[in-house]
């Protein structure tokens, strides 16, 4: 089975200038766990998930510092980097500032991608949706809900065959 058979299309998308409030409203209104951020041509720029919105509004956890000669030196550099990332998220005012864009190639599929590959990728708890990209444009998304719907249909088909 291929992604084209189960994907949600067209995808609900936003642009980089879409406000955080509008992103949250669209996700709630459409009952979706994330949205692709696209440019005017429909090319994928990044992804915003529920976790991004929650992290933006969660309290910041400041790193521990050592004061030495009037300088504040972070005790743990990775903790300090996380704090900077959290602060940038908290200050985000639009989708472009909030979106995650780490390795978009690993977070996308095509309509020809096998559903088994999608399920394997979605074992990663951070992946709740995969944009479906064709000719450089987002044409849909495949979500965990799409996978569950497919499993339900397969289970019903199996049950029906057993009853025959």
Share of the chain above pLDDT 90, in %: 51
Per the structure, how many domains does the chain have? 1
Where does the chain have alpha helices with state H?
20-30, 50-57, 77-91, 95-98, 115-121, 144-163
Smallest CA-to-CA distance from 46 within 8, 86, 102 is with 102
Look at residue 74 in the predicted model and tell me its pLDDT: 58
For residues 88-97, average pLDDT: 75
* Radius of gyration of the chain measured on its C-alpha atoms: 20
Distance in Å from the first CA to the final CA of the chain: 24
Between strands 44-49 and 34-38, the pairing is: antiparallel
For residues 96-125, average pLDDT: 86
Look at residue 55 in the predicted model and tell me its pLDDT: 79
Q: Each residue of 18-55: pLDDT tens digit?
A: 999 999 999 999 999 899 999 999 999 999 988 888 87
CATH number of the domain encompassing residue 79 = 3.10.580.10
- Expressed as residue numbers, the domain containing 116 is 3-163
Q: How far apart are CA 107 and CA 130, in angstroms?
A: 6
Q: Which of 37-46, 53-62, 76-85, 119-128 has the lowest mean pLDDT?
A: 76-85
């Amino acid at each position: 089975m291929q992604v084209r058979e189960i994907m949600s299309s067209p995808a609900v998308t936003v642009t980089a200038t879409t406000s955080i409030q509008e992103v949250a409203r669209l996700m709630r209104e459409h009952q979706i766990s994330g949205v692709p951020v696209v440019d005017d041509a429909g090319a994928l720029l990044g992804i915003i998930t529920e976790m991004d919105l929650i992290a933006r509004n969660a309290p910041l956890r400041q790193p521990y510092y050592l004061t030495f000669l009037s300088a504040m030196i972070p005790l743990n550099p990775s903790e300090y980097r996380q704090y900077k990332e959290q602060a940038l998220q908290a200050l985000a005012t639009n989708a472009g500032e909030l979106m995650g864009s780490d390795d978009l190639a690993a977070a996308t599929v095509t309509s020809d991608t096998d559903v088994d590959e999608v399920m394997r990728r979605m074992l990663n708890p951070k992946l709740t949706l995969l944009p479906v990209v064709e000719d450089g444009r987002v044409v849909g998304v495949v979500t965990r809900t799409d996978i569950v719907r497919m499993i339900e249909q397969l289970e019903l088909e199996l049950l029906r065959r057993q009853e025959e």
